[in-house]
Amino acid sequence: MPKRGYHHGNLRQALVDAALELIAERGPMGFTLSEAAKLAGVTPAAVYRHFDGREALIAEAALQGYAIFADLMEFAYDDGRPTALAAFEATGRAYLAFARKYPGHYVAMFESGIPVNASADLARAAERSRGVLERAAMELARHIPPEKRPPAAMVSAHVWALSHGVVELFARGAPGGRAPYPPEDLLETGVGIYLRGLGLIPPDT
C-alpha cells in the first residue's frame, strides 16, 4: 500500500484519513498506530503529537463521521419537505448511502466500541444525527392526539435499528450476503409496515 503523504500543517487529518482507509479494509482493531503513520507518510512518533493512542485516533474518525452523517441526514430530511412521510423515508435512504460511501467512518462510529460519550464533541455530534430522526418521527405523528402518540425517541430508535440491520446484513457485503431485494426496498417496506402498525400513516398510503 503506497504512502499517501500529507500537506504541511495537516498531519492530524492525514493520520485520520489513513486510519479510515485501514479501518475500512481491516476493521477497527486490524491495524496499529505505526501502520497508520506509515500510510500517512510520517514516523510513528509523529502520531503522538496529535493522538495519545489508537482509540483516540478512531474516536476522531468517529467524530468526523457523525458530523458528515448528521449533515447528510439533515439534507435528506429537508425540514420535512415535501411531506412528513417522504422526508422520513429520505432519512432511511441517507443512512444506507452513508454506510456505502463512508465505510471507514461507519465502522469507526458503530463497530469500533468507541462510546458516543467518549468526548463532549462526539456526544454532541451523535446527538445531532439522532435528533434529525426524532424530529422526523415527531412530525410524522403530529396528526395523532398527544396522549396517543408513540414516543418519538422510541420510533426513531426502532427505525435506526432497522436501518442498521439492513446495512449490516445486505448493504455492506456482511453475513447476510446478497439481499433478495435492493436494500433500499427492504428498508422502505419494513419502515412502512412499522409505521402503519403504529398508526402513523394510513393503511392505503
Domains of the chain listed by start with CATH number: 1-52 (1.10.10.60), 59-198 (1.10.357.10)
Q: What is the percentage of the chain residues whose pLDDT exceeds 70?
A: 90
Rg of the Cα atoms in the chain: 19
pLDDT tens digits, one per residue of 137-176 = 999 999 899 999 999 999 999 999 999 999 988 887 655 5
Residue 202 to residue 60: CA distance in whole angstroms: 43
pLDDT tens digits, one per residue of 46-60 = 888 899 999 999 999
First to last CA, the chain: 51
Q: Which 8-state DSSP code applies to residue 142?
A: T
**Predicted structure pTM score:** 0.89
